[in-house]
Amino acid sequence: MRYSALKVLKEGLTGHKGWKPAWRKPDPKAAYDIIIVGGGGHGLAAAYYLAKKFDQKRIAVLEKGWIGGGNVGRNTTIVRSNYMLHENEGFYEFALKLWEKQEQDLNYNTMVSQRGILNLAHTDPQRHAFARRGNSMILNGADAVLLDTAGVRKICPFLNFDDARFPIRGGLWQKRGGTVRHDAVAWGYARAADMRGVDIIENCEVTGFDIKDGVCSGVQTSRGPIKAKKIGVSVAGSSSRVMAMAGMRLPIETHVLQAFVSEGLKPTIPGVVTYGAGHFYVSQSDKGGLVFGGDLDGYNSYAQRGNLPVVEDVCEGGVSLIPMIGKARLLRMWGGLMDMSMDGSPIIDKTHIDGLYFNGGWCYGGFKATPASGFAFAQLLATDVSHDTAKAYRMDRFSKGLMIDEKGQGGQPNLH
Amino acid sequence: MIINHPLLGPRDAAEFVYLGDASLMQRPNPKSETAAEDFHNYQYLRNNPAGEHKELWYHEQGDRSWLVVTRNTLSHEITHVELARDVARSS
């Protein structure tokens, strides 16, 4: 069923009785050509592009829980392509271009809102670094504007410009960045993939891989064994647990990152504002809640919740930057699991096991990458050739010295 | 989280800095024939378990000792704390 304004009008006049579920609930078949493990945004996007762009048939997505119940529903919905390193920037700009045409492509209202993202600078060296990063972005086809204090004031007049420790001296502005409704991304990809024949199988946990003589030929699941010619694992947050079943150790630690939503306020924050020096970033949802977060808690965790010291740190950062939000009350807070890789960059690659492919290590940047990650993983699964923008996301880059370390922190995951 | 320091008693985890898996105490032998691979695995690969995890915490805002903390990564429950030097001596 195609969605359209006319359809909404018609259903509105006839009691909304004609809507159908957005995707089927098929039972797993005995065999598929390609299985994607993990029905998050990335896995669903990969299945969609496999069917749509790479003409693959007999595809299944296996999801342990339900669609939209994992990290795709636990992030802070920001999209942007403001990286500096060439290996990252081309990829994230590819993602942003896919975001820009996603709603038409999926025939689904994912509420893509290019309201802009502003990174604040507090010192001359930081402005120089932003100038360099902005130039790198422009060289990769993205947009970037270096702002002085007056430029920042024009966009966000309410910031604390004259803070003694971190006075605002300018910023890097990417107008095409913004936010996207995260659940809608999962639902939109699920629906669009399902329409092209992909079996989306929920409540189906993978419990093992059938590996013999270095070839993976299927998976064991809570709903029985399933054979496949190719299996792509896309379960960021739990990558180490799943790949351990294939006997692999990964360059990844799982950490918790907390996020927060305030009570609904009138429109006040125009785009996304990031205050790296104060461990705080914020945007405002269409419902009015301030959506904000800060740094990792910093220790390995699969608990999907963090602890109070970071809550305090994030809220202090927020109030010091935007004093007017001091009286806003916190409505919700939660934690998500991050695949923190050793250089802060993701992996989209084959493994040493034939037929087994891996997508993970997204750190806290997975959501914005969703369409490009799905596309690149689909291309790798269909053709065994990496996508041009994802060639650097190799599994073996740590042994080859080809790290993509945006922050220059070294192999210490909680610092990325 | 409260870390029960063997010398100082219960301390807030916010006083500590986290390093990672306690296996980082066991550096590979640089003279081994497989040293390059061993150091790659040591530096970059992790077990990253969901459940009990032995890990290194540094008491930066306290007595600056290194601790080996046994903590459950699913519940954040801390079940055992030792001085890293004691663990190193006994291994």
What backbone torsions phi and psi does residue A70 show, to the nearest 5 degrees? -105, -145
Mean pLDDT along residues A254-273: 97
Per-residue pLDDT of B25-63, as tens digits, reads 999 999 999 999 999 999 999 999 999 999 999 999 999
Whether B69 contacts A296, CB under 8 Å: no
Q: What is the pLDDT of residue A49?
A: 98
Whether A186 contacts A67, CB under 8 Å: yes
Looking at the DSSP bridge assignments, the partners of residue B4 are B10
Nearest chain A alpha carbon to B37: A399
Nearest chain B alpha carbon to A310: B14
Q: Which two tokens stand for residue A124?
A: 């001359």
Q: What value does the mean pLDDT of chain A take?
A: 97
In CATH, which superfamily holds the domain spanning B2-24+35-90? Folate-binding superfamily (3.30.2270.10)
Instruction: Spell out the alpha helix ranges (H) of A221-342.
Output: 239-244, 308-321
Of A310, A316, A294, A336, nearest in space to B12 by CA: A310
Looking at the DSSP bridge assignments, the partners of residue A354 are A215
Contacts of B58 (CB under 8 A, 6+ apart): B16, B17, B18, B19, B64, B65, B66, B67
- Ordered domains of chain A (ranges, CATH): 5-78+182-250+343-415 (3.50.50.60), 112-177+253-341 (3.30.9.10)
**What is the C-alpha to C-alpha distance for residues B70 and A204, in angstroms, rounded to an integer?**
32
Percent of chain A with pLDDT over 70: 100
Residue A7 CB coordination number (10 Å): 13
Whether A198 contacts A32, CB under 8 Å: no
Q: What is the pLDDT of residue A119?
A: 98
Mean pLDDT along residues A390-402: 97
Q: What is the pLDDT of residue A236?
A: 96
Using CA atoms, how far residue A101 sits from A111, A189, A195, in Å, is 11, 13, 19
At A325, the amino acid letter reads I
Enter the DSSP assignment of A194: H
Q: Dihedral of the CA atoms A409, A411, B1, B7 (nearest 10)?
A: -100
Q: What is the ipTM of this complex?
A: 0.96
Q: Which two tokens stand for residue A32?
A: 């598929």
List the domain boundaries for chain B: 2-24+35-90
Give the model's confidence band at A227: pLDDT under 50 very low, under 70 low, under 90 confident, else very high: very high
Looking at the DSSP bridge assignments, the partners of residue B57 are B18, B67
B41:A249 CB<8 A: yes
Q: What is the pLDDT of residue B91?
A: 77
Residue B45 with chain A: CB contacts under 8 Å: 249-251
CA distance B20 to chain A (A): 7
Per-residue pLDDT of A303-354, as tens digits, reads 999 999 999 999 999 999 999 999 999 999 999 999 999 999 999 999 999 9
A250:B74 CB<8 A: no
